[in-house]
Chains A and B, each alone.
Chain A
Amino acid sequence: MSDALIEFIKDSYKTGKTHKEIRSILEESGWPSELVNEALDQFVDRSSEVAIPKPIIFASPRLVALNIFFFLVLYLSIYNVVAILFTFLDYYLPDGIGRTRGAFYSYKPIGTALRGYLASVICCVPLVWFSNRVIIKAISVTKQRVPRIRLKLIYLTMFIGACVLLGNAIYFIYYFLSGELGLRFLIKVIILSLLISGLFIFYNIEIKQTEKKA
Protein backbone atom coordinates (compact mmCIF):
# COMPACT_ATOMS: atom_id res chain seq x y z
CA MET A 1 0.00 0.00 0.00
CA SER A 2 1.37 3.35 -1.02
CA ASP A 3 2.10 5.70 1.89
CA ALA A 4 1.54 8.72 -0.33
CA LEU A 5 -2.00 7.54 -1.09
CA ILE A 6 -2.83 7.09 2.59
CA GLU A 7 -1.38 10.50 3.42
CA PHE A 8 -3.48 12.07 0.67
CA ILE A 9 -6.66 10.43 1.97
CA LYS A 10 -5.94 11.63 5.50
CA ASP A 11 -5.34 15.16 4.24
CA SER A 12 -8.55 15.04 2.22
CA TYR A 13 -10.52 14.19 5.36
CA LYS A 14 -9.23 17.39 6.95
CA THR A 15 -10.78 19.40 4.14
CA GLY A 16 -14.10 17.59 4.71
CA LYS A 17 -14.18 15.47 1.57
CA THR A 18 -16.25 12.29 1.39
CA HIS A 19 -15.13 8.89 0.08
CA LYS A 20 -16.93 9.53 -3.19
CA GLU A 21 -15.12 12.81 -3.75
CA ILE A 22 -11.73 11.42 -2.82
CA ARG A 23 -12.28 8.44 -5.11
CA SER A 24 -13.14 10.55 -8.11
CA ILE A 25 -10.17 12.89 -7.58
CA LEU A 26 -7.74 9.96 -7.30
CA GLU A 27 -9.16 8.10 -10.27
CA GLU A 28 -9.02 11.22 -12.39
CA SER A 29 -5.35 11.59 -11.50
CA GLY A 30 -4.68 8.10 -12.80
CA TRP A 31 -4.67 5.93 -9.66
CA PRO A 32 -5.97 2.42 -10.38
CA SER A 33 -9.43 1.99 -8.86
CA GLU A 34 -8.40 -1.26 -7.10
CA LEU A 35 -5.69 0.54 -5.16
CA VAL A 36 -7.98 3.46 -4.36
CA ASN A 37 -10.71 1.16 -3.08
CA GLU A 38 -8.28 -0.81 -0.98
CA ALA A 39 -6.86 2.37 0.53
CA LEU A 40 -10.29 3.86 1.23
CA ASP A 41 -11.44 0.57 2.75
CA GLN A 42 -9.12 1.20 5.63
CA PHE A 43 -11.14 4.19 6.81
CA VAL A 44 -14.68 4.70 7.99
CA ASP A 45 -16.82 6.48 5.38
CA ARG A 46 -18.12 9.32 7.54
CA SER A 47 -17.57 13.04 7.33
CA SER A 48 -15.21 13.87 10.11
CA GLU A 49 -12.25 16.21 10.50
CA VAL A 50 -9.86 13.34 10.92
CA ALA A 51 -9.62 10.00 9.16
CA ILE A 52 -11.12 7.26 11.34
CA PRO A 53 -9.29 4.00 10.73
CA LYS A 54 -11.37 0.84 10.39
CA PRO A 55 -10.45 -1.98 12.74
CA ILE A 56 -8.19 -4.26 10.70
CA ILE A 57 -8.24 -7.97 11.24
CA PHE A 58 -4.65 -9.12 11.10
CA ALA A 59 -3.62 -12.59 10.08
CA SER A 60 -5.62 -14.82 12.35
CA PRO A 61 -3.74 -17.24 14.61
CA ARG A 62 -5.12 -20.02 12.42
CA LEU A 63 -3.34 -18.69 9.36
CA VAL A 64 -0.14 -18.21 11.32
CA ALA A 65 -0.22 -21.79 12.57
CA LEU A 66 -1.11 -23.10 9.10
CA ASN A 67 1.77 -21.24 7.49
CA ILE A 68 4.30 -22.45 10.05
CA PHE A 69 3.03 -26.00 9.56
CA PHE A 70 3.16 -25.63 5.77
CA PHE A 71 6.79 -24.57 5.80
CA LEU A 72 7.69 -27.29 8.31
CA VAL A 73 6.31 -30.05 6.09
CA LEU A 74 7.81 -28.35 3.03
CA TYR A 75 11.28 -28.38 4.61
CA LEU A 76 10.88 -32.00 5.70
CA SER A 77 9.73 -33.05 2.22
CA ILE A 78 12.59 -31.28 0.48
CA TYR A 79 15.18 -32.66 2.91
CA ASN A 80 13.95 -36.23 2.56
CA VAL A 81 13.55 -36.17 -1.24
CA VAL A 82 17.09 -34.83 -1.57
CA ALA A 83 18.32 -37.44 0.92
CA ILE A 84 16.72 -40.22 -1.18
CA LEU A 85 18.34 -38.85 -4.33
CA PHE A 86 21.73 -38.73 -2.59
CA THR A 87 21.28 -42.28 -1.30
CA PHE A 88 20.54 -43.41 -4.88
CA LEU A 89 23.79 -41.80 -5.95
CA ASP A 90 25.69 -43.48 -3.09
CA TYR A 91 24.23 -46.80 -4.23
CA TYR A 92 24.60 -46.54 -8.00
CA LEU A 93 27.88 -44.64 -8.07
CA PRO A 94 30.01 -46.08 -5.28
CA ASP A 95 33.06 -43.97 -4.68
CA GLY A 96 36.20 -46.06 -4.62
CA ILE A 97 38.15 -43.85 -2.28
CA GLY A 98 35.08 -43.11 -0.21
CA ARG A 99 36.19 -39.61 0.59
CA THR A 100 34.06 -37.27 -1.48
CA ARG A 101 30.79 -38.32 0.04
CA GLY A 102 29.28 -34.87 0.10
CA ALA A 103 26.33 -33.96 2.23
CA PHE A 104 23.74 -36.27 3.81
CA TYR A 105 26.16 -39.18 4.05
CA SER A 106 24.41 -41.89 5.98
CA TYR A 107 26.27 -44.38 8.16
CA LYS A 108 23.21 -46.59 8.23
CA PRO A 109 22.81 -49.38 5.68
CA ILE A 110 21.27 -47.96 2.51
CA GLY A 111 18.02 -49.96 2.92
CA THR A 112 17.43 -48.70 6.47
CA ALA A 113 18.16 -45.11 5.50
CA LEU A 114 15.93 -45.27 2.42
CA ARG A 115 12.97 -46.67 4.35
CA GLY A 116 13.23 -43.81 6.86
CA TYR A 117 13.37 -41.13 4.16
CA LEU A 118 10.58 -42.80 2.19
CA ALA A 119 8.28 -42.88 5.24
CA SER A 120 8.84 -39.15 5.82
CA VAL A 121 8.21 -38.26 2.16
CA ILE A 122 4.98 -40.28 2.04
CA CYS A 123 3.71 -38.49 5.16
CA CYS A 124 4.92 -34.96 4.35
CA VAL A 125 4.29 -34.46 0.61
CA PRO A 126 0.48 -34.87 0.80
CA LEU A 127 0.49 -32.56 3.84
CA VAL A 128 2.33 -29.86 1.84
CA TRP A 129 -0.40 -30.00 -0.77
CA PHE A 130 -3.21 -30.15 1.80
CA SER A 131 -1.98 -27.35 4.06
CA ASN A 132 -1.32 -25.15 1.03
CA ARG A 133 -4.91 -25.66 -0.10
CA VAL A 134 -6.24 -24.84 3.36
CA ILE A 135 -4.15 -21.65 3.45
CA ILE A 136 -5.36 -20.48 0.02
CA LYS A 137 -8.96 -21.19 1.06
CA ALA A 138 -8.56 -19.38 4.38
CA ILE A 139 -7.03 -16.34 2.67
CA SER A 140 -9.78 -16.13 0.05
CA VAL A 141 -12.63 -16.64 2.55
CA THR A 142 -11.41 -14.06 5.07
CA LYS A 143 -10.25 -11.78 2.21
CA GLN A 144 -7.11 -11.17 4.19
CA ARG A 145 -3.98 -10.07 2.51
CA VAL A 146 -1.01 -12.45 2.61
CA PRO A 147 -0.22 -12.80 6.31
CA ARG A 148 3.02 -11.25 7.40
CA ILE A 149 4.22 -14.57 8.84
CA ARG A 150 4.08 -16.12 5.36
CA LEU A 151 6.31 -13.44 3.91
CA LYS A 152 8.70 -13.86 6.83
CA LEU A 153 8.84 -17.63 6.30
CA ILE A 154 9.35 -17.19 2.56
CA TYR A 155 12.28 -14.90 3.24
CA LEU A 156 13.59 -17.36 5.84
CA THR A 157 13.35 -20.13 3.24
CA MET A 158 15.26 -18.04 0.74
CA PHE A 159 17.84 -17.20 3.40
CA ILE A 160 18.38 -20.88 4.23
CA GLY A 161 18.55 -21.61 0.52
CA ALA A 162 21.20 -18.95 0.05
CA CYS A 163 23.23 -20.43 2.94
CA VAL A 164 22.99 -23.93 1.44
CA LEU A 165 24.07 -22.57 -1.94
CA LEU A 166 27.02 -20.79 -0.35
CA GLY A 167 28.13 -23.91 1.53
CA ASN A 168 27.68 -25.86 -1.68
CA ALA A 169 29.97 -23.53 -3.60
CA ILE A 170 32.63 -23.60 -0.86
CA TYR A 171 32.62 -27.42 -0.76
CA PHE A 172 32.72 -27.57 -4.53
CA ILE A 173 35.83 -25.40 -4.75
CA TYR A 174 37.42 -27.20 -1.79
CA TYR A 175 37.01 -30.61 -3.41
CA PHE A 176 38.07 -29.21 -6.77
CA LEU A 177 41.31 -27.90 -5.25
CA SER A 178 41.91 -31.23 -3.45
CA GLY A 179 41.59 -33.00 -6.79
CA GLU A 180 38.66 -35.11 -5.54
CA LEU A 181 35.91 -33.88 -7.78
CA GLY A 182 34.09 -37.15 -8.41
CA LEU A 183 31.05 -37.56 -10.66
CA ARG A 184 28.87 -38.41 -7.68
CA PHE A 185 29.78 -35.26 -5.80
CA LEU A 186 29.29 -33.17 -8.95
CA ILE A 187 25.75 -34.53 -9.39
CA LYS A 188 24.96 -33.81 -5.73
CA VAL A 189 26.10 -30.20 -6.17
CA ILE A 190 24.01 -29.86 -9.33
CA ILE A 191 20.90 -31.29 -7.60
CA LEU A 192 21.18 -28.86 -4.69
CA SER A 193 21.83 -25.90 -6.98
CA LEU A 194 18.83 -26.70 -9.18
CA LEU A 195 16.61 -27.17 -6.12
CA ILE A 196 17.60 -23.85 -4.54
CA SER A 197 17.26 -22.02 -7.87
CA GLY A 198 13.77 -23.47 -8.27
CA LEU A 199 12.81 -22.33 -4.76
CA PHE A 200 14.18 -18.86 -5.44
CA ILE A 201 12.33 -18.45 -8.73
CA PHE A 202 9.09 -19.83 -7.25
CA TYR A 203 9.03 -17.62 -4.19
CA ASN A 204 10.31 -14.57 -6.04
CA ILE A 205 7.18 -14.80 -8.19
CA GLU A 206 4.96 -15.00 -5.10
CA ILE A 207 6.73 -12.08 -3.42
CA LYS A 208 6.46 -9.93 -6.54
CA GLN A 209 2.76 -10.70 -6.88
CA THR A 210 2.21 -9.84 -3.20
CA GLU A 211 4.08 -6.57 -3.59
CA LYS A 212 2.06 -5.73 -6.67
CA LYS A 213 -1.13 -6.20 -4.68
CA ALA A 214 0.14 -4.12 -1.79
Chain B
Amino acid sequence: MKSEFLSKLIIYISLLIVLIVISWAFILVGSPSLNRRISADRIRISRLSILKNEIQKYYKNNKKLPSEITDLKINNYSYREDFRNDPITKENFDYHILNQTEFKLCAEFALSSEKAILEQSRYDTNSELWKHDEGHYCFKFKTK
Protein backbone atom coordinates (compact mmCIF):
# COMPACT_ATOMS: atom_id res chain seq x y z
CA MET B 1 0.00 0.00 0.00
CA LYS B 2 1.42 3.31 -1.11
CA SER B 3 -0.40 5.44 1.46
CA GLU B 4 0.60 3.15 4.33
CA PHE B 5 4.22 3.37 3.22
CA LEU B 6 3.92 7.15 3.10
CA SER B 7 2.48 7.45 6.62
CA LYS B 8 5.17 5.11 7.97
CA LEU B 9 7.80 7.18 6.21
CA ILE B 10 6.43 10.35 7.83
CA ILE B 11 6.49 8.69 11.28
CA TYR B 12 10.10 7.51 10.86
CA ILE B 13 11.33 10.84 9.49
CA SER B 14 9.71 12.74 12.38
CA LEU B 15 11.17 10.29 14.89
CA LEU B 16 14.61 10.79 13.38
CA ILE B 17 14.24 14.57 13.53
CA VAL B 18 13.07 14.42 17.16
CA LEU B 19 16.05 12.24 18.11
CA ILE B 20 18.53 14.56 16.38
CA VAL B 21 16.93 17.63 17.97
CA ILE B 22 17.00 16.09 21.46
CA SER B 23 20.64 15.00 21.25
CA TRP B 24 21.75 18.28 19.75
CA ALA B 25 19.92 20.23 22.44
CA PHE B 26 21.50 18.01 25.10
CA ILE B 27 24.96 18.80 23.74
CA LEU B 28 24.16 22.51 23.63
CA VAL B 29 22.71 22.87 27.15
CA GLY B 30 25.55 20.89 28.72
CA SER B 31 25.62 18.60 31.72
CA PRO B 32 23.81 19.36 35.02
CA SER B 33 27.16 19.72 36.82
CA LEU B 34 28.34 22.28 34.25
CA ASN B 35 25.08 24.20 34.67
CA ARG B 36 25.51 24.13 38.45
CA ARG B 37 28.94 25.72 38.07
CA ILE B 38 27.53 28.32 35.68
CA SER B 39 24.78 29.16 38.22
CA ALA B 40 27.38 29.53 40.98
CA ASP B 41 29.32 31.98 38.78
CA ARG B 42 26.15 33.93 38.12
CA ILE B 43 25.47 34.23 41.85
CA ARG B 44 29.09 35.40 42.32
CA ILE B 45 28.57 38.11 39.70
CA SER B 46 25.31 39.28 41.24
CA ARG B 47 26.88 39.43 44.72
CA LEU B 48 29.95 41.27 43.41
CA SER B 49 27.63 43.72 41.72
CA ILE B 50 25.82 44.43 45.01
CA LEU B 51 29.17 44.68 46.80
CA LYS B 52 30.47 47.18 44.23
CA ASN B 53 27.36 49.34 44.64
CA GLU B 54 27.62 49.20 48.43
CA ILE B 55 31.28 50.26 48.36
CA GLN B 56 30.44 53.14 46.05
CA LYS B 57 27.60 54.16 48.37
CA TYR B 58 29.93 53.96 51.37
CA TYR B 59 32.40 56.22 49.57
CA LYS B 60 29.67 58.74 48.78
CA ASN B 61 28.61 58.94 52.42
CA ASN B 62 32.01 58.74 54.13
CA LYS B 63 34.30 60.31 51.52
CA LYS B 64 36.62 57.33 51.88
CA LEU B 65 36.70 53.69 50.85
CA PRO B 66 35.91 51.06 53.49
CA SER B 67 39.13 49.52 54.82
CA GLU B 68 37.54 46.03 54.90
CA ILE B 69 34.38 44.75 53.29
CA THR B 70 33.18 43.76 56.75
CA ASP B 71 32.90 47.50 57.45
CA LEU B 72 29.91 47.59 55.19
CA LYS B 73 27.88 45.52 57.58
CA ILE B 74 28.91 47.56 60.61
CA ASN B 75 27.72 50.67 58.87
CA ASN B 76 24.49 48.87 58.22
CA TYR B 77 24.49 49.43 54.50
CA SER B 78 23.91 45.79 53.73
CA TYR B 79 20.52 44.50 52.74
CA ARG B 80 21.71 40.93 52.33
CA GLU B 81 24.29 39.73 54.72
CA ASP B 82 25.85 37.18 52.44
CA PHE B 83 26.62 39.44 49.47
CA ARG B 84 30.21 39.69 50.68
CA ASN B 85 30.72 35.91 50.53
CA ASP B 86 31.42 33.44 47.81
CA PRO B 87 28.26 31.28 47.51
CA ILE B 88 30.22 27.99 47.58
CA THR B 89 33.26 28.57 49.84
CA LYS B 90 31.41 31.09 52.08
CA GLU B 91 34.64 33.11 52.32
CA ASN B 92 34.72 36.86 51.83
CA PHE B 93 35.55 38.08 48.35
CA ASP B 94 39.01 39.64 47.95
CA TYR B 95 38.88 43.40 48.26
CA HIS B 96 41.90 45.63 47.58
CA ILE B 97 42.18 49.39 47.77
CA LEU B 98 44.29 50.56 44.82
CA ASN B 99 44.30 54.27 45.62
CA GLN B 100 41.92 56.82 47.12
CA THR B 101 39.28 56.43 44.43
CA GLU B 102 39.93 53.00 42.95
CA PHE B 103 39.39 49.52 44.29
CA LYS B 104 39.56 45.93 43.11
CA LEU B 105 37.18 43.01 43.73
CA CYS B 106 38.34 39.45 43.10
CA ALA B 107 36.66 36.06 43.05
CA GLU B 108 37.37 32.47 42.06
CA PHE B 109 35.30 31.62 38.99
CA ALA B 110 34.50 28.05 38.00
CA LEU B 111 34.33 28.85 34.29
CA SER B 112 35.16 31.59 31.86
CA SER B 113 32.16 33.81 31.07
CA GLU B 114 32.57 32.81 27.40
CA LYS B 115 31.44 29.31 28.31
CA ALA B 116 28.25 30.62 29.87
CA ILE B 117 27.21 32.53 26.76
CA LEU B 118 23.99 30.52 26.51
CA GLU B 119 22.90 31.78 29.92
CA GLN B 120 23.17 35.41 28.99
CA SER B 121 20.00 37.29 28.28
CA ARG B 122 20.10 39.15 25.00
CA TYR B 123 19.13 42.28 26.89
CA ASP B 124 21.80 42.03 29.53
CA THR B 125 23.75 45.25 29.11
CA ASN B 126 26.06 44.43 32.04
CA SER B 127 27.55 41.31 30.49
CA GLU B 128 30.48 43.25 28.98
CA LEU B 129 31.36 44.76 32.36
CA TRP B 130 31.42 41.39 34.09
CA LYS B 131 33.40 39.36 31.55
CA HIS B 132 35.79 37.08 33.39
CA ASP B 133 38.22 34.22 32.90
CA GLU B 134 38.27 30.87 34.68
CA GLY B 135 39.88 30.84 38.14
CA HIS B 136 40.99 33.89 40.10
CA TYR B 137 39.78 37.04 38.38
CA CYS B 138 39.72 40.69 39.50
CA PHE B 139 37.52 43.60 38.48
CA LYS B 140 38.76 47.16 38.84
CA PHE B 141 36.27 49.89 39.78
CA LYS B 142 36.26 53.60 40.42
CA THR B 143 34.30 55.27 43.18
CA LYS B 144 32.94 57.80 40.62
Interface residues of A (CB under 8 A from B): 77, 81, 84-85, 88, 91, 98, 107-112, 114-115, 117-118, 121-122, 125, 198, 201-202, 205-206, 208-209
Contact = CB atoms under 8 A, between A and B. Distances in A.
Interface of B: 3-4, 6-7, 10-11, 13-14, 17-18, 21-22, 24-26, 28-30, 35, 38, 116, 118-123
A60 to B, nearest CB: 25
A111 B122 CA distance: 12
Contact of A114 (B13, B28, B121): B28
A202 B7 contact: yes
A211 B3 CA distance: 14
Given A107-B123, A118-B29, A201 B6 contact: yes
B22 A88 contact: no
A109 B119 contact: yes
A84 B18 CA distance: 10
Contact of A209 (B3, B14, B121): B3
Contacts of A110: 118-119
B21 A81 contact: yes
B126 to A, nearest CB: 13
Given A198-B10, A202-B7, A206-B7, A114 B118 contact: yes
Contact of A109 (B6, B10, B120): B120
B118 to A, nearest CB: 4
Contacts of B25: 84, 88, 114, 117-118, 121
